[in-house]
Amino acid sequence: MIVGGVVAMTRQRVIGRGGSLPWRIPSDLERFKKITSGRPGENHAVIMGRTTWSSLPNQFRPLPGRLNYVLSRTPALALPGAEVHENLESALSSCHLQSVTHAWIIGGREVYSAALELIQILHITWVEADVEGDVRFPEYGLAEWRVVNEVKHMSEKDEHPTTYVMLERPL
Ligand SMILES: NC(=O)c1ccc[n+]([C@@H]2O[C@H](COP(=O)([O-])OP(=O)(O)OC[C@H]3O[C@@H](n4cnc5c(N)ncnc54)[C@H](OP(=O)(O)O)[C@@H]3O)[C@@H](O)[C@H]2O)c1
C-alpha cells in the first residue's frame, strides 16, 4: 500500500482559514479528485481530520469513489459514509484489511503532522499568492525530496496561479 499526501498551500504554508480553504481553485479540486480516485483496479482511501471532513460541502461528503476515513478522538462519532478512527495507525490498519492500494493523507494540519514520516509521495499545489490564513502545513524540510513532476498552471477560473509538484521521498 502506498501512503501519499495531497496538499494545496502558499509558499508561507497557509492551508486554511476559518475552517475552510482560503481560495477558489477549481483546477486544483479536479487534480485532487483525479489523484485520490486513481485508476480502475486500484482501491483508494482518503484519511482526514474531523475538521476537514466538516469543511466538505454536503454533496461531497463522503468523497465519492474513495473509502473515507476520519480521525477523531471521539471514535464513537457517527459520520455517515465515513469510518471514524481514533488514531492514524488504526485507520491505516483498516486500509490494509480492506486491500487499499493508495491511502491519501488529505489534511488538515494535525493529520499531516501525524502522517508526515510515513508519506512516500507528496503532491503539493503551491498557491502563488500571499493569502492570509489561520492554519499552516507543518514546518517540514522538503529539500531532500526528489521532484518527479512540476507544472505551472493558470486558468481564468482559478483565483490564483499555481505550481503543482509531485515529490518522492528518497529511499
Ligand atoms: N489546503 C489544503 O490542502 C487543505 C487540506 C485539508 C484541510 N485544509 C484546511 O485545514 C483546516 C483544518 O485543519 P485542522 O488542522 O484545523 O484540522 P483537521 O486536522 O482537519 O482536524 C482536526 C481534528 O481531527 C482529529 N484529529 C486530528 N489528528 C488526529 C490524530 N492524530 N488522532 C486522532 N484524531 C485526530 C481531532 O478531532 P476531534 O476534535 O474530534 O478529536 C482534531 O480536532 C481547514 O481550514 C481546512 O479547510 C486545507
pLDDT single digits (tens) 74-110: 978 999 999 999 999 999 999 999 999 999 999 999 9
For residue 113, what pLDDT band results from cuts at 50, 70 and 90?
A: very high
- For the stretch 43-86, pLDDT in tens is 999 999 999 999 999 999 999 999 999 999 997 899 999 999 99
Contact in structure between 91 and 27 (CB atoms under 8 Å): no
Evaluate whether residue 166 is within a structural domain: no
Residue 157 alpha carbon to ligand 1 centre in Å = 27
Structural domain count of the chain: 1
Evaluate whether residue 156 is within a structural domain: yes
Evaluate whether residue 169 is within a structural domain: no
- Supply 107's cell numbers: 489534511
| Residues near ligand 1 (Cβ within 6 A) | 7-9, 15-16, 19-21, 48-52, 55, 71-74, 86-88, 106-111, 114, 135
Q: Minimal CA–CA distance to 94: which of 71, 118, 62, 123? A: 71
Tell me which residue has its CA closest to atom 8 in ligand 1: 108
Evaluate whether residue 151 is within a structural domain: yes
Evaluate whether residue 127 is within a structural domain: yes
Structural domain boundaries enclosing 55: 2-161
147 Cβ contact partners less than 8 Å away, ≥ 6 residues apart: 165, 166, 167
Q: What's the CATH number where 105 sits?
A: 3.40.430.10
Residue 70 alpha carbon to ligand 1 centre in Å = 9
Evaluate whether residue 38 is within a structural domain: yes
- Which of 23, 28, 51, 70 maximizes ligand 1 atoms within 8 Å of its Cβ, making it the mutation to test the pocket? 51
Tell me which residue has its CA closest to atom 4 in ligand 1: 15
Contact in structure between 170 and 120 (CB atoms under 8 Å): no
**H-only helix segments in 38-116:** 50-55, 88-97, 109-115
Angle at CA of residue 40, ends 39 and 42, nearest 5° = 75
Residue 156 alpha carbon to ligand 1 centre in Å = 30
Evaluate whether residue 119 is within a structural domain: yes
CA distance 160 to 136: 18
Evaluate whether residue 171 is within a structural domain: no
